[in-house]
Amino acid sequence: MKRKLSVSGVFGLAFLMTGCAGIATYQEVPAGLYADYKYGKDAEGPVGSKEGQACATSILGWFGTGDASIITAANNGGITKVYSVDHKVKNILNVYAEYCTVVHGE
């Protein structure tokens, strides 16, 4: 009986430790312990001289907050014409995750 409780406890702890914060990890670059990278998504023209960023964060996949929309990123950078969109991801042990949208334009 003790063994069953121990095994159940280990699986329960493993389940809790794999928080959904990992969702912020780009699928082509999996990282379970730590991730901090930037990747491109869309481009329609030159990079542009202005850059704006908007971020959302998650803790354990239970608490999420922020606005990582393209519109907010453009407003934060004073951009009226968006040329390209990139994304930045930070994930620490699937406990804390940050997902940012970075826009370039004029």
Pairwise pLDDT comparison (55 vs 5), residue with the higher score: 55
User: Alpha carbon of 1 to those of 4, 5, 9, 37: distances in Å?
Assistant: 5, 6, 12, 45
- Express each pLDDT in 6-51 by its tens digit: 655 555 555 555 544 444 444 556 666 888 888 876 666 677 889 9
Choose among 43, 45, 62, 65: nearest CA to 54.
65
What are the start-end ranges of the E strands in 25-95? 34-43, 50-59, 63-66, 82-92
- Express each pLDDT in 83-104 by its tens digit: 999 999 999 988 899 999 999 9
Mean pLDDT value across residues 62-79: 95
